[in-house]
Structure formats: C-alpha cells, structure tokens
Structure 1
Amino acid sequence: MSLLTVGDVLRLPVIAAGLPRVLAGEERLAGPVRWVHVTELLDPASFLEGGELVLTTLMPQPNDPTRLRGYVDQLADVGAAGLVVELGRRYQQVPSDLVVACRARELPLIVLSRGIRFIEVTQTVHALILDAQGELLRKSQQVHEVFTSLTLRNAAPEELVRTAADLLGHPVVLENLLHHAVISCTAGGSPGQALEAWARRSRATPTPDQAANSGPEDWLVTPVEHNGQRCGRLMALPDASGRATGPEHTMILRRAATALTLARLTGHTRWDRSAHTSALLDLVRWNYSSHTEARIRIEALGMPTVSHRLIAVVIGHRHGAADEAALDDPLAEQLRSAGIRALVGRISPDRTGVLLALARASAWQPAVDRVGRFTKEILGEEAVVGVGPGVSELDQVARSFREAEDVADAIGPATPHRPYHVPSDIGLPELLHALRDDVRLQKYVEQQLGRLIRHDERHAGDLLTTLRHYLGAAGNKSIAAKQLCVSRQAFYHRLHTIEHILGYSLESGLRRTQLHVAVLALASLTTADDVQPETPDDVQPDLGIDVRDAPST
C-alpha cells in the first residue's frame, strides 16, 4: 500500500465537504503526504520536517506581497506537501500574490470555499497514514522473508531480479558500470519499451547514494555494491501505464539490491558472462518474438548491430568442459581491451560461443585470429576454433553459429593446426571426422577394410599401412614403396596379398576411391596418435576474405 498523496487527501469526504479548488501546483498533487499540520504561524517552517500538508485560514497573515512570498518560500524550501486555505474567516478570496508565489514555487495551493473542521481532517488523514505505514511495515517483513529465503538457497541474480519485478509490478533492470543491461525483467511489459536506446537513457540518469527517483524518466534507482565498492545499480522503470513508484517500491528495490550484494559475496559474480550466455543462447535458439526485440536486447548489452557485420565463432574444448572462468572471462577481457565488441558465453558444457560485431569496412580475420591465438594460449593447441559466415541481421546469427559448430565438429587430428578454421577448410577428411559417430560410416569401414584389419591382427602384419601409403600416393607404387622403405618387389607382393584378401583388383579407380574413403574414415575413428596427417603442418590458410566464409554485408 502506498502512502497518501495530496490528490488522495482532496478526495476524502472530510475535505470534499469544503469544495476544494486547486489554484497552483497541479503537477505536484501526486506528492506524498507524510502528515497534516494545522498552523496560523507566520514562520511555520521551523515546525515542519517536509511532506506535511499545511491547513490554515491565513488569519494573521499580512497583506504585504513580500511577506506572502516569504511565507510560501519557507513552505517550499522545507518540502511541504501543499497549502490548504479555508476562506471566509479573513479572506473571501485568496490573495493573488499568494497564488502567484505558489505557482512560482510549484507548491500545491488548495482553497476551501466552505468551512470544515480541521480536527476531523487531521484525525482522518493521520489514521489513514498510520494504517498505510503499518501496512508498509507488514509488507516490508514479507519482502524481507522472500529475499532471505532466496538468499539462503543461493538463488541466481536472474531469479532475484525477476522476483523484484514481480513484487514491484514494474520493469526492473540490473546494469553494470558500463551501462550494459546485464539482467532485465519487464514484468509482463514489452522488452522494447524498457530497453530501447538503453545506454543513452541510462547515462542520463544519475545514481543517488541510496534508493531514490532519478533522471528525466523518473526511474527508481539504487546502487549495488560489492566489498564496499559499487559494481552496478538496480532500477525500476515506470510501467506501461506510467504509474509512479512509491515508498513500497523503494523498500522492495532496496531489499533486492541487498540480496544481489549477498549473491556476489557467495559466488554469483559473473553477471556479464551470464548475460552474454543468455543472449547468445536466445539468438542460437531464436527465442525472440521479433527482430526489433532481439536488436534492443543485444544493444542493451553494449553490442552494436546496425551497419555491422556479425561473425559467429565456436570454440570447442577437445577434452570435455573447461572451467568457464579459465577461458571465457579472460577472452572477453582480451577482446574488450582490444576495442572489439563481442558477446562471450558458454553455449554448451564443452563449447564457448563468441559473437563479434565488426564494422563492415573492417577485415574480420584479425579479430578472429586474436580469438584463435588467445584460445590456444589458454587451452592448448588441441582447442578448435570454428568460424561461421558473416551475417548482417540478428535472425541470421543462428545459421552462422550452426555453420561454425559444423566446422568445429569437422576439425580432426589430421587437420593442419591453425588459429581458426572456416567452412572452406572442411575437406573429405574433415567431413568424415564430423560423421565419425554415424553407425553407417562405421559399417562402411568394416565392410571395406574388416578382412584386411583381421588379417593384420592375426599375422601381426602391416598391410593396412601399405594400403594407406598406396592410396595416399594416388596409386603410384614407386612413391609408396619409397615412403615405406621397402623394395618395389616386396611392395608388389604386399599389394598382391591385399588384392587376394579383399577379393578384387586395385587397378580400378573406383575401387581405390572407395578404399581411400574407408581408410580416411578409419583414421577419424581412431585416436589422434594413430593418425598421420596427409597435409604438411606448415601449410597456412589463405587469409583473404572468402565470400563463402564471411560475406560482406
């Protein structure tokens, strides 16, 4: 329950009986009334603390315009909620100088044309104020219990913000010190309405020392601290109807900010990474109702989208899930320090996703190369960095990530080591490596090479190695024999034995192709130690922009 406002008091029957008319300060009628004070003193400010609605007949007031203006200035300076003047005892109409002075100070001036009993007004209003304050105390205890329960079970910051929004009935946003909206809950409203042009609107809203309304849009703002330092702020925005916030909202927001501070103390410190992860997953799964909603959410995280090329990068952790803080946080900081706008977050237990926003006129390779080299410094050479095609629209990002994942899946032990890989790097060995878990591929390898493998196992032979070199040399027996360091006669004898075991001649180009595919597939099904790369490690990728990899947009 919110405290009474000046407008609420004027609607009470005990006041309405006096036929009240508002002559000044109409825009301040929504101000709260902390108390009602009846006085005929010429200097009432010395007895006021702010928020009082002053009732008077102006009996002792002088006619001097200067003194009247001074009287109004005292009330306005102390923060009085308004001035109610009863006519008939001294004045039949309010002095025009008093009206002018109240309008100049935007102090609500209410005139009662009919006499009323001030004691009844004070009794009625004070009872309502006390009831409202009691209800606020009861509500405060309930809110305290809610957030205490959430804190004790170590609730995530997202749940704390969502709870605050539900209790407030207003959109609530948690932002970091860079004015990025890391967590937001619109409480049933439109995300676009709350987050549109977020950075500009946020920077125009100062941060008060404690929860208070601030800025041109009258946001309710409270700082969030960690270890005695500000780490962000929590804000409640006006709802769709423009309904203002009150003391109850201030109390709820303070409780939520305290819970967020405790959450950081208990380990929930990675707000930015959590926000990036959530945004990336929403893009990959396209959990947005429209392109506009996606744009507003991504831009609220400090990522430009208009007139930029968006590059999806997937980092595969070869040996299972890596500690998120070990790679994701340092990588995000590395890109930020280089002036590269990016979202970095874990999109699966063993994969990190990176979305780069690059100016269309700039080359994409340096940024991607930085990601690749830094990743390998942290995770080692076996980490795989796959790059999807550049896109210009957010609803195309999911496709770019799928292609980047396909690249990361396809890169196997036989692929030359590079800082990153693009779709055009996927050749036959990479394609077979990507299909290594397909039962049909496994059956094919067994059908083509099973008899030869079993013969080698029984006789401790190396006919499979002989076949691999023969096929790798495109059927050139002299080159293959030299690579194996055996005589040509011995090599011919081995080929004859292979043909006998397989039951067909190796002179057929189609047969050799089938066997070569099977040999490459077998390599993808074995450990990296069993595989001999067929491409020299010193071959470097073409760093020219390929329209298949990162199209200009």
Structure 2
Amino acid sequence: MGERANLTAEPSRPRLRAVRDVPADTAELGGLSTFTIEDFLAMPVTQQGAPVVVAGKQHLDRRVRWLHVIELVDTQGLLQGGELILATGIAFPQAPEEIAQYVDALADQGIAGLAIELGRRFATVPPAMVRACNRRHVPLIAFHREVPFVKMTEAAHSIILMGQRRLLQVTAAAHERFTELTSAEAPMEDLVTAAAELAGGQVVFANLMHQVLALHEPDGETEQLLNRWNRKAFTLTKAFGTQVDKADHTVVTPVEVRGRQRGRLVLFSTGPPDRAQVTVIERAAVALGMLLLLQDDDVVVANAHRTVLESIISGRSGGVEAMHARAAALGRPTRGRYYLPVVVVSAGRDLRWVVNRALDETRLDGLAAQVGPDRWGALLLLKTEQFEQAVSAFAACVLELCRGVGIDRPVVARGGLVSALADVRHSVAEAVDVALASRVAGSPRNRKDVYAIEDVKLRGLLYTLRNDSRLQAFVERMLGPLLHRDTLDGGGDWVRTLGVYLRFQGNKSLTAQELGVSRPTLYERLGRIQRLLRVDLDDPEWSTSLYAAIMVVEATAADSPALPQKRRESL
C-alpha cells in the first residue's frame, strides 16, 4: 500500500509502491499531494511567465508537495522533499562543476523540480544545469518572462491543499467502507464494486492466469471493459508494487496473501489516475487479500463461475454480448455453443464440489453454481447438438462421487438443449421442475441416472401446477379426510398407504411388502380409507383422481424448502 506522509516529514524512504517511469530514488516524494509539475505548468499564472521545459521532460507527472522560493546555493536542512524550487538564479554559481554540485544537492534532498526565471542572472539556461538535471532526472523549467513568484505559490498552494483535503476524505471513506465489508465477510463482487464506486472508474480483478474473477462497470458496458482488459492483460509483467500508467489511464496493484501474489486489481479511469484513486485501489487489494486468506484458488474460480452462471440465469448482466464476454474472460467461451442445463438435487448436503469435480473428470466445458436450497446446477457448453453421451457421463460421475463418500443418491435432471444464451434461464427452470418432480417419481428400483421433462409425465404437469389454487382445492376434496387423520395421528400413514396401493395398481401383496405390514393389517387400512373417503377404490376414475391428488401432495413435499419467490421469478 502507498504510504501517507505529513507535510513536515523527513524525505521519503523507498516505497513499496512503484510509480511508472519515475526513478526509484525520487518516486513518491509528493506525499499527500496530487498536484504535479504538469498541473503547475497548466496554471494561467504560470503561463504568463512563458515557461519552457528544458530538462526532465519525461518526469512532468511527478507530484509537488509544495512550492519553495529560495536563492541560496547551500540548501542543506532547508528542504524536506517534494518541493518545486523557484529561483531567479541571482546567487547561483558560475562554474559548470559548481552548478552540477548545486543540482546534485537538490536532487539528493528529493526535490520535485527546479524552475528559474531568466533575465536577472542568466540570459539562457546554463548547459551544465541542463546536463545535470537530465542526469539526475530533475525537471528543469525556464521562465522567459517575469512573473511574481508569490502569485504562483498562492495559486499552487490553494490547489495542493484542496487536493490533500480530497485525498484525506477519500482515504477515510475507503478505510470505513472496506473495514465494514471485511467485517461482514462480504463477497469478492461487493469489494470490487466498492472499489469502483470509491475510485470513480471501472475495476477488474483477475488471477495470474488472466481469468476475470470479478468486475464492476458503473455504466453496464461489460463488453467494452473486458476488451480493454484483454488489451491491458497482454502488457502486464511481473512487477513489484502498484503500477500507475497515466497514458493508459490505469492503475494495477497486486493482490497478495502471505507474500504470495494471487491476482491483480486493475482500475480503468476516465483520465490520468490521481493519488486518491491509487489509494482506493490499494486499500481494496488489501481487503481482497484478507478475503482470499481462507480460500484456495480453486474455490475462488468456482465462485467466479457461480457469479457468471447466476448472471446468465437471471439475464441481468447487460445483454447477451456482455454475458458472452464475461464467460470468455473467465476461460469458458460460450459463443457458438449449445447449452444444456443440468440440476442436481440432494437434501441437506453441499454438492458444489461434486458438480465441479464431475465437470473436471468428464472433461466437459461448463459453469457450475448453486441454483437454490439443496440444488446445484451445471451449464454444459457443448460444441454439437449431440448431448446424450455428455449428459449421461456427467450424471454417472455425479452419482459415483456421491456413492463413494456415502452421500444419499441425488436426483439429476436436465433441461432442454438450447442454442441461444438468452434461452438458458427457461431451460434451467425446466430442469429444476423436472428434478423436484422426480424426487418422488416412484420406486427406487425404477430410478434413472438423469431425468428429462418426458420422464415425469403427469407428475411433471401436476408439479408445475402445484401452486394453483384450483388444484389445491381439488386435492382437498379428494384427500381432505385422510390428510386430517394423518395430522391427528401426529404423522400418520394413511395417505402413504393409499399412494403405494394405487402405484402398485391394487396389488395387495406388493403393497403390504412395500409398507412392511401384514396383509390383514393392509386390508383393515384399505377398508377404513374407503369409509373415510366414501369411495370405491376399484373404480378406475376414482383411483385415477386419488392418485393424481397424491402426486400433488408428494410434489409439494418435494418442493420443501422451496426456491425463494424472487429466485423462482428470475428462473
């Protein structure tokens, strides 16, 4: 992180932060100031003196802490570093070697630059002074017209003080914001968003493989930002500390964890970055480092995949082209692919690692994320329309991984194959409905590795209509007395008994075996059910109606816990 120096500090020591194109022995001597020699030259009062830069032109971006008018040759102990020296040269030495010694003494004290007024002592700038300033990387300015130095210092100091005030305000705001986010264990996306808002620009966080893990663009121009990032990524080299590129309007700072670099945080500004923006980005990098302290690289990338998939499902990422660009920047190109959503449902177990590992072991391109409570999704990115082999291999791998660690067999379901990224959200919704409806699809002996919409038949239709008040009223009419009896018995078995009996199409032997009761007990239960419902179970229409109502009850049970309403609407 960049250091803050007060106005009376000793000349700055070498910083951890490297400033682009500024030699290490003179970098960062401007302290809190964001005022540069370039800014000084642009002031109207400075222009009145007809200034000409005669040396050190490549260092005009150096920050100026203060303007100091001094004619003394011996300045030892009078300067603190970062000053722009104003002089008429009236007391300057004449000999070239003495002029060189004078410049060396100023450079050793860390001045920002030297400006002399011609006419009183020198008609032209001494060549020895030009050579010495170039050798010591000191900007040298010559005024060809007389201008009161007091007006220059008043104008410059006013700007410097206002800049210092803004920097202190931004620094305090950044400290407060990132401390609050870190304490709340905010996700990576929130930290990057805060950095962009505080710095007033676009921000990208990428790992060392140039995969974009998080980004924020205030104007929603994701594609343009990622194009800019791709151009910048090719120019990045391993460097120590923060790199400020005023020509490219960027700030690049490393994100480190325990001395090991884990990525880079990049600010894209609308103009040359100032000190306040650099401070914000460096503070954000520290917050990201704290977040990554307990996360390995695989978890970080998996979280980025989740963010991209959630954006695709919700459709709130700035359009199709923006989604393509975001996925490509993460190393998962989606353009020109076919998309097949797969949903895995398992109650009470975190299957995130299972889904990600299944993608790796089957060598399938895809994005994975949790799509609801107890539900994990994978979006397979296929190059052809032939998906059967790919989805079968993925489902088999998921089931095998679960079996290997003692996790109950999950339900795996797929949506329809789509060729447009905008249609993925509808296919994901279909896969979720199929998965939840298939959780009660029948006997374990008839389970499939992967379910599709055609496998759930009437059960799938009833599941999609489960929240319809007319269907709920139908269930109440058909099964009301049995549901009431189960409630009175504290979790009775009446509805389940009827459901198993109807599923086995009236076969009493198989029903008794499935329920684990004797046949006489089953006969007694069935007789009581018929009396409670006042129906004839041998009547085909009654049997069909009752079984449909039971499938609705089972679908409702499978839907608990349900997707939050907002998430369901987004799907």
Listed as ranges, the matches of 1:154-233 within 5 Å are: 154-188=185-219, 190-196=221-227, 198-199=229-230, 201-206=232-237, 208-213=239-244, 217-233=248-264
Q: Distance in 2 between matches of 1:304 and 1:175?
A: 16
Residues 536, 542 of structure 2: 8 Å contact kept = no
Unaligned 5+ segments in structure 1 are 473-479, 481-493, 528-553
Which of 445, 452, 459 is residue 422 of structure 1 equivalent to? Answer: 452
Q: TM-score, normalised by structure 2?
A: 0.65
Which residue is 1:405 aligned to? 432
Residues 205, 214 of structure 2: 8 Å contact kept = yes
Which residue is 1:366 aligned to? 390
Once the two structures are overlaid, the 10-residue window that deviates more, 221-230 or 258-267, is 258-267
The residue matched to 2:174 in structure 1 has which SS?
Answer: helix
Residues 156, 268 of structure 1: 8 Å contact kept = no
Which of 281, 292, 298 is residue 321 of structure 2 equivalent to? Answer: 292
Residues 177, 231 of structure 1: 8 Å contact kept = yes
Distance 1:254 1:442, change over 3 A: closer
Which of 339, 351, 369 is residue 310 of structure 1 equivalent to? Answer: 339
1:242-287 residue CA offsets vs partner (Å, 9 max, x unmatched): x121222222222222223334458899544444333333322322
Structure 1 residue 88: Cα displacement: 2.9
Q: Distance in 2 between matches of 1:73 and 1:519?
A: 96
Q: Distance in 1 between matches of 2:236 and 2:159?
A: 34
The residue matched to 1:304 in structure 2 has which SS?
Answer: coil
Once the two structures are overlaid, the 10-residue window that deviates more, 188-197 or 427-436, is 427-436
Which residue is 1:475 aligned to? none
Which residue is 2:412 aligned to? 385
Structure 1 residue 4: Cα displacement: 0.9
Once the two structures are overlaid, the 10-residue window that deviates more, 326-335 or 33-42, is 33-42
Which residue is 2:14 aligned to? none
Once the two structures are overlaid, the 10-residue window that deviates more, 253-262 or 99-108, is 99-108
Distance 1:250 1:418, change over 3 A: same
Structure 1 residue 81: Cα displacement: 5.6
Distance 1:63 1:463, change over 3 A: closer
User: Is 2:373 the partner of 1:343?
Assistant: no
Which residue is 1:357 aligned to? 381
Which residue is 1:534 aligned to? none
1:159-181 residue CA offsets vs partner (Å, 9 max, x unmatched): 33322222211122233343333
Distance 1:53 1:442, change over 3 A: closer
Distance 1:18 1:149, change over 3 A: same
Q: Distance in 2 between matches of 1:525 and 1:148?
A: 49
Structure 2 counterpart of 1:259, which letter? A
The residue matched to 2:266 in structure 1 has which SS?
Answer: strand
The residue matched to 1:306 in structure 2 has which SS?
Answer: coil
1:176-200 residue CA offsets vs partner (Å, 9 max, x unmatched): 3433332222244633332236456
Residues 38, 54 of structure 1: 8 Å contact kept = yes
Q: Distance in 2 between matches of 1:56 and 1:50?
A: 17
Which residue is 1:477 aligned to? none
Distance 1:94 1:262, change over 3 A: same
Structure 1 residue 344: Cα displacement: 1.5
The residue matched to 1:148 in structure 2 has which SS?
Answer: helix
1:310-335 residue CA offsets vs partner (Å, 9 max, x unmatched): 22122222x3x43xxx4214532552
1:324-360 residue CA offsets vs partner (Å, 9 max, x unmatched): xx42145325524654332221221221122222323
Residues 96, 128 of structure 2: 8 Å contact kept = no
The residue matched to 1:9 in structure 2 has which SS?
Answer: helix
Q: TM-score, normalised by structure 1?
A: 0.67
Percent identity between matched residues is 32
Distance 1:426 1:263, change over 3 A: same
Distance 1:138 1:287, change over 3 A: closer
Distance 1:348 1:526, change over 3 A: closer
Residues 434, 452 of structure 2: 8 Å contact kept = yes
Listed as ranges, the matches of 1:425-436 within 5 Å are: 425-432=455-462
Distance 1:137 1:438, change over 3 A: closer
User: Is 2:246 the partner of 1:246?
Assistant: no
Structure 2 counterpart of 1:426, which letter? V
Residues 354, 398 of structure 2: 8 Å contact kept = no
Listed as ranges, the matches of 1:101-180 within 5 Å are: 110-116=141-147, 125=156, 129=160, 132-133=163-164, 136-137=167-168, 139-180=170-211
Structural RMSD (CA):
5.3
The residue matched to 1:398 in structure 2 has which SS?
Answer: helix
